[in-house]
Chain A
Amino acid sequence: MLNNLESAKKMEVRNSFINSFLALVFSLLLGAIFIWVCGYSPIESYKAIIGVSLGTVKGFALSLSQATPLMFTGLSFALAYRVRMINTGAEGQLYAGAMAAALVGAYVHNLPSPIHILLAFGAAFIAGGLVALLVAAAKVYLKSNEITMTLMLNNIIILFTSYLANGPLKPAGSGVGQTERIDDSAKLMKLIPQTQLTIAIFVVIIVAVILQYILHKTVFGYEIKVTGLNLRGAYVAGINVGKTYLLTFALSGAVAGLGGAAMVLGVNYRFIEGFSSGYGFSGISIAALAAYSPIGVILSAFLIGILKAGTITLNRTTSIPVEFVDVIQVLVIIFVAAPTLIRAILNKFKKIKELTNKQKHGGEAI
């Protein structure tokens, strides 16, 4: 554990921006090779993706709305990682939050819109937070592993919500697993008509700013930082490490829960079985790309959103499959996680270059 902490410290010092940038470039390069193998022109494809996503209003809105859930889950993973806890449970927390928001949206009536929305978000916040708190408590008091626990909880929550959506909460006459439609007063306002872009984007940006503030300007943020970077130091400094773990992880789960609420209140207007296409796990790559900074998460999720929106739009006119972006995301994690790997690759290129230079200039061939 200590080794990990030390290397983490070094990572902090290193310029993480360059790291992330290189990781993204490498992933896109590998992606380009893949596109080429599939028989398309990489340059044309990337051009088309960016053209669609940034060149048109609808594309831009799609990029942002695709990025919104990723921002929530990215923030969730980043926050937990600040105390070096791995929150692989964002997927489950997202479902818990979505179900809570859908219930408040559909079964609480006659409220003014802002209060209804706040109440739904609040319920999602609590649902996601409680799920995560359970995991953190098991880690702190029973020394369980949070990764295996969250992975099991994901399955349990997804199956249980699916049971609810197919059983007791299913509206009469519905063919698929879903809950009752939420009231109009709980729906999030659309920023651009006929798109999925809602004020959820402002909610997530506000959350990111708050988290950034907490991490850098408050005592709690300082405790998070010390606990994450130097556990022994935290004990010596008299920080209540258990409490820090509990609060941080619960907050992380709560943010993921908000993401579920944003999907229900802004996009689907009800809980639909299996609505998440692995947003929880995508959050890992978003957070890694952002070097675990809240504001960075917003930017990196937007980048992935651009890729997603581009491939979704292009996919309608037969081109690169949408799953392609998922592979790019994994490549991003791999390269961000292993900065030494990138350096090793760059060094190899340098050596080859030196070698060819030597041969060009009549040096000894090795």
Chain B
Amino acid sequence: MNFNADLVYSIIASTLRSSVPLILASLGGCFSMRAGVSDLGLEGMMLAGSFFSVLGSWISGSAWIGLLFGIVFGMLFSMLHAVMHITYRVNASISGMCVNLLATAATPLLLNEIFKMSGKSVTVEAFKKPNWEWLNQIPVLGRILGAQNVLFFLALLLVILGWIFLYKTKLGLRMRMVSENPHAASTVGLNVLGYKYFGVAMSGCFAGLGGAYLSLGQMNLFVENMTSGRGYIAVVINAFGKYNPIGTLGGSIFFGFFDALQTVFQSIFPSQLVMMMPYVFTLLVITFGLSGGKAPAGVGKHVE
């Protein structure tokens, strides 16, 4: 293999491509953690998003309607987590795992019942690359960004908006107060449960969007268990990026890079060993590198 410019371009472009679902899901994680609810359910919400977005696109014939389906169902799955943890006070790890398990169990079942297929769905209308002339004409960036999907730009926009919401608006400040000290927030008259529900709902929307990117952005069909642990990686990225949208953006691109390397090294090393890399790296990060990133103090606390 010779390292030429083409290879570098393709690595950078595919880094960005594979970081999009991570960016979206970990952004969702920020909203959840910054409302004081742990975000272990991201995997399930993503998987639901990728299945239902295909379903939506299949029914309507439009990828955008599919995207909407993905967002809505991602949110519905997040509500299971919210109701169990916030209202019925189930341990957030258990309720998060419930969301994941439900999505893993329900999507093949629905695939079977609706599409009458197992393993993967029919191909549906998906997102195309934008093909903007002006973008392609920019010298270096054009080649990298021109290879991206519309959803990539949407994800970047959402990260910026999410950061502004969390750190520059009154609502965001209040939400962060709920996550740091729910008792104090409740004392000053904030609707603690409302903020928590809002945070979890947003996390479901973003995770659903991230799932939709997998099925409608990178491919044009649903494959059983297609998130393959990206939701869990997003949980780790979220801690890695200190629960800040800008930090998680950086973390996601970092992890996306490892994902991109896979495709390059697949021809030299056995594929399984290459696929292990991001997980090994994540594991090392969780084990040794997370002492700096403290979670908001009030995560998992309830108010009487």
Q: Which residues of A are in contact with B by a Cβ distance under 8 Å?
A: 1, 3-4, 7, 38, 86, 88, 138, 142-145, 147-149, 151-153, 155-156, 159-160, 162-163, 166-167, 278, 281, 284-285, 321, 323-324, 326-327, 329-330, 333-334, 337-338, 340-341, 344
Q: Interface code B265-279, partner A: CB below 8 Å = 1, 0 otherwise?
A: 000001011011001
Docked complex: B252-297 residues within 8 A CB-CB of A:
270, 272-273, 275-276, 279-280, 282-283, 286-288, 290-291
What's the nearest-Cβ distance from chain B to residue A308, in Å? 13
**Residues of A close to B94: CB separation below 8 A:** 86, 333, 337
Asked whether any CB of chain A lies closer than 8 Å to the CB of B108, the reply is yes
The answer to whether residues A152 and B232 also contact, given A7-B89, A329-B105, A340-B88 and a CB cut-off of 8 A, is yes
Q: Which of B97, B105, B113, B300 contacts A326 (CB 8 A)?
A: B105
Besides the known contacts A144-B290, A145-B286, A338-B88, 15 further A-B residue pairs in the complex with CB atoms under 8 A apart: A86-B93, A138-B287, A142-B291, A143-B291, A144-B286, A148-B232, A148-B239, A151-B232, A155-B276, A155-B279, A281-B104, A284-B97, A330-B98, A334-B84, A338-B84
Tell me if B102 and A330 are in contact (CB < 8 A): yes
B113 and A321 form a contact (CB under 8 A): yes
Q: Chain A: which residue is nearest B272 at the CB level?
A: A163
Q: Is the CB of B102 within 8 A of A327?
A: yes
- In contact, A162 and B105 (Cβ under 8 angstroms): no
Q: Which residue of A lies closest to B106 (CB)?
A: A327
B275–A327 CB distance below 8 A: no
Q: In whole angstroms, what is the CA distance A344 to B236 when docked? A: 35
Contact B286 A341 (CB under 8 A): no
Contact B286 A162 (CB under 8 A): no
Asked if B40 is an interface residue, CB under 8 A from chain A, the answer is yes
B229 touches A151 (CB 8 A): yes
- A7 contact set on B, CB distance < 8 A: 89
Instruction: Give the distance in Å from the alpha carbon of A167 to the alpha carbon of B272 in the complex.
Output: 10
Q: Once bound together, how far apart are the Cα atoms of A327 and B112, in whole Å?
A: 13
- B residues within 8 Å of A by Cβ? 40, 80, 83-84, 88-91, 93-95, 97-98, 101-102, 104-106, 108-109, 112-113, 229, 232, 235-236, 239, 270, 272-273, 275-276, 279-280, 282-283, 286-288, 290-291, 300-302
Q: Which of B97, B101, B104, B113 has the most chain A CB atoms inside 10 A of its CB?
A: B101
| Whole-angstrom CA separation of A334 from B280 in the bound complex | 31
How many angstroms from the CA of A289 to the CA of B163 in the assembled complex?
42
Q: Please determine whether B286 and A148 come into contact, CB atoms closer than 8 angstroms.
A: yes
**Bound Cα distance from A102 to B240, whole angstroms:** 38
A264 CB to closest chain B CB (Å) equals 19
A144 touches B91 (CB 8 A): no
A86–B97 Cα distance when bound, in Å, is 10
Q: Which 10 A-B pairs have the closest CB atoms?
A: A326-B105, A163-B272, A323-B109, A338-B88, A152-B283, A155-B279, A330-B102, A337-B90, A159-B272, A330-B101
**CB < 8 Å neighbour of B272 from A160, A323, A338:** A160
A sample of 6 inter-chain contacts (CB < 8 A) reads A152-B232, A156-B276, A163-B270, A323-B109, A326-B104, A338-B88
Q: Which of B113, B280, B290 contacts A38 (CB 8 A)?
A: B113
Q: Does A162 lie within 8 Å of B91, measured CB to CB?
A: no
The A contact surface, by secondary structure, is helix
- Contact A338 B286, beta carbon cutoff 8 Å: no
Instruction: Say yes or no: B286 contacts A326, CB within 8 Å.
Output: no
Would B273 and A337 count as touching, CB distance under 8 A? no
Name which of B84, B106, B283, B290 has the most chain A CB atoms within 10 A of its CB: B283
Contact A159 B287 (CB under 8 A): no
Q: Is A334 a contact of B232 with CB atoms below 8 Å?
A: no
Q: Are A162 and B272 in contact (CB under 8 A)?
A: yes
Q: Which residue of B lies closest to A161 (CB)?
A: B272
Nearest to B44 among chain A residues (CB) is A330
Q: Tell me the bound Cα distance from A147 to B40 in angstroms.
A: 9
A147→B280 CA distance, assembly (Å): 15
Check if B235 sits within 8 Å of A148, measured CB to CB. yes
Min CB–CB distance A209 → chain B (angstroms): 27
Kindly report which residue of chain A lies nearest to residue B280, judged by CB atoms: A156
Expressed in whole angstroms, the minimum distance between the Cβ of A360 and any Cβ of chain B is 32
What residues of chain A lie closer than 8 Å to B97, measured between beta carbons? Answer: 86, 88, 147, 281, 284, 333
Q: Which of A147, A324, A333 contacts B98 (CB 8 A)?
A: A333
A residues near B290, Cβ cutoff 8 Å: 144
Q: Which residue of A lies closest to B43 (CB)?
A: A151
Q: A277 → chain B, closest Cβ, in Å?
A: 11
- Chain A residues with CB under 8 Å of B95's CB are 337
Give the docked Cα–Cα distance between A24 and B88 (Å): 18
State whether B270 touches A149 (Cβ < 8 A). no
The one of A4, A86, A163, A341 in contact with B273, judged by C-beta atoms closer than 8 angstroms, is A163
> How many Å from the CB of B209 to the closest CB on chain A?
22
| CB-defined contacts of B291 to chain A, threshold 8 Å | 142-143
Closest residue of chain A to B235 (Cβ to Cβ) is A148
- CA A340 – CA B272 in complex, angstroms? 44
